[in-house]
Amino acid sequence: MQHCYAGAARRTAAVTAPSRLSTDAVTGQGEPARAHRDPLARPVVIEAMGVSKTFRIPHQRIDSLKERVTHPLAAREYRLLEALKDVSFDVHHGEFFGIVGRNGSGKSTLLKIMASIYRADHGRIRMAGRLAPFIELGVGFNPELTSRENVVLNGVLMGLTRQEARRRLDAVLDFAELRDFADLKLKNYSSGMMVRLAFAVMVEADADVMLIDEVLAVGDAAFAQKCMDVFRARRDAGKTVVLVTHDMATVQSFCDRAMLIHDGEVRYIGDPEEAALRYYRLNFAGEGEHVAGGVPDINARLIDAWLENAAGERVENIEQGEPIGFNMVVEARRDLDSPVFGFFFLTADGVTVFGFNRTLALPDGEPDMLKAGQRARISGTIENRLMPGRYYVSSMISRNRAQGDLALHVLRLLDFVVYGTRPGPGPVSVDNDLKAVVEEGS
């Protein structure tokens, strides 16, 4: 529990500290709203205590009685895989809770235990309200049934009664825009129609707790964005969302809190940015789990980063249309072979607007390397097509270009506001010469 509260406190700090330009705005009017929204003040809806799960993996799978009879001793050759070790956490009502970890860390096993698909060996999970698990889109869809029948079946699988599922049928078909095809068998649907239907079922499931496992991975970026909008709307409607993922951008931009699982153990619960940072450390730093929170990255260190206006002054906000002067200085803490400096400009919602990579500009014959202790400065001017709004920059520095080993990852390198009086749809404006005229002779 100590983790949680420390994390929550840190999150508040994380929001205010890097955005020097907006400190006043956040502390000025944000605090009462934040206190109201603070999920930790709300009742617990999922409580896991000491959950453990061990799988017995036979060295050679014994599938038949004959093998069992002919190799009676083989049955005992199991490898024990401890998928979860004494996992405890709480999720509060109305929270967007992320569970992150690399493949095989046990996060999906945990989700399946929460969804009553696996049974925990030890420990206890308690939950309040109706739960809808989304391990995959369109689970239980039967191609031989019409979409009408499938929607009802799926609704009942999600814990609705048949009457409730039927009542929701129209809403689902409308959302999927498939009303005209309601009596068509699913096997005659295009894959796009199928995804739309599966998605609509999920949207209309309307459970108190939604468990989501990488559903977002199936679609393209636009689809993933649509999913996230729905999950967020659910959260705003007072529902609880638990998301299992290894996509850190999603965690950072949507989760209220996140839990990092590694080798079946809880490594961190709290601030999503911190969880993401530790996730990257576990995966890329090479030092494994022993990197403590306060220790700077071992491969490279961020010295400074700032924006400049056209006049060359350091600024924290940029006028719409004014070129963005970008500057960053990093120091290598060990030799970085063929380093690549990557930057992403994201909206406040975590949608990447654009990004670019730079390698070291080298005089002839110099090895492509940043030696330990050397500093690199990345600077220049960026065309500013951003619409008014809040943006942030994240940076990733990798070494050994071919392997792409991550050396430094700064999730919120810079946080800035574009101000202006010409807002528009989307995050960018583009030049065009479109004209609308009355067609002659019509």
Partner 1 sequence: MSVSELELQDVRGPSALGGGWRRSVELLYLIASTEFKRTYFGTVLGYLWSLCRPLLLFAVLLEVFTHVIRLGSNVAHYPVLLLMNIVLFGFFQEGTNTAVGSVLSQEAIVRKTQFPRLVIPLAVVLTSAFNLLVNLVVVFAFVVGFGVNPTWTWLLFPVLLAWLFILTTAVSMILSALYPRFRDVSIIWAVFSTALFYATPVLYPLERVTGTLKTLIALNPLTPIFELARRWIIQPDAPVQTGPLYVIVPAVISVAICALAVWVFNREAPRIAEAL
- The residues binding partner 1 (CB under 8 A) are 43-45, 47, 55, 63-66, 68, 93, 112-120, 124-129, 131, 133, 135-136, 139-140, 142, 144-145, 149, 152-153, 156-159, 161-162, 208, 238
| Residue keyed to tokens 């739960």 | 131
Contact between 46 and 127 (Cβ < 8 Å) = yes
Nearer to partner 1, 69 or 438 (CB): 69
Nearer to partner 1, 214 or 271 (CB): 214
**For 373-401, b where at least 16 C-beta lie within 10 A, e where not — what string?**
eeebebeeebebebbeebbbbbbbbbbee
Residue 285 in tokens:
């730093």
* Cα(438)–Cα(316) distance, integer angstroms: 45
Nearer to partner 1, 189 or 416 (CB): 189
Closest by CA to 413, choosing from 396, 388, 389, 428, is 396
Residue spans of alpha helices (H) in 38-146: 65-70, 107-114
* Cα(146)–Cα(17) distance, integer angstroms: 54
Beta bridge partners of residue 301, listed in sequence order: 331
Cα torsion through 176, 172, 223, 188, rounded to 10: -50
In whole angstroms, the minimum distance from the beta carbon of 91 to partner 1 comes to 11
Residue type, 335: D
405-419 and 389-399 strand pairing: antiparallel
In whole angstroms, the minimum distance from the beta carbon of 83 to partner 1 comes to 10
Any long-range contacts for 236-240 (C-beta under 8 Å, 24+ apart)?
A: 238/93, 238/94, 239/94, 239/206, 239/207, 239/208, 239/209, 239/210, 240/45, 240/46, 240/91, 240/92, 240/93, 240/94, 240/95, 240/97, 240/129, 240/208, 240/209, 240/210
Residue 192 in tokens:
């796009």
| Residue keyed to tokens 């999603």 | 250
Closest by CA to 107, choosing from 95, 119, 118, 99, is 99
Nearer to partner 1, 202 or 248 (CB): 202
321: Cβ contacts below 8 Å, ≥ 6 apart? 384, 420
Sign of CA dihedral 306, 311, 317, 318: negative
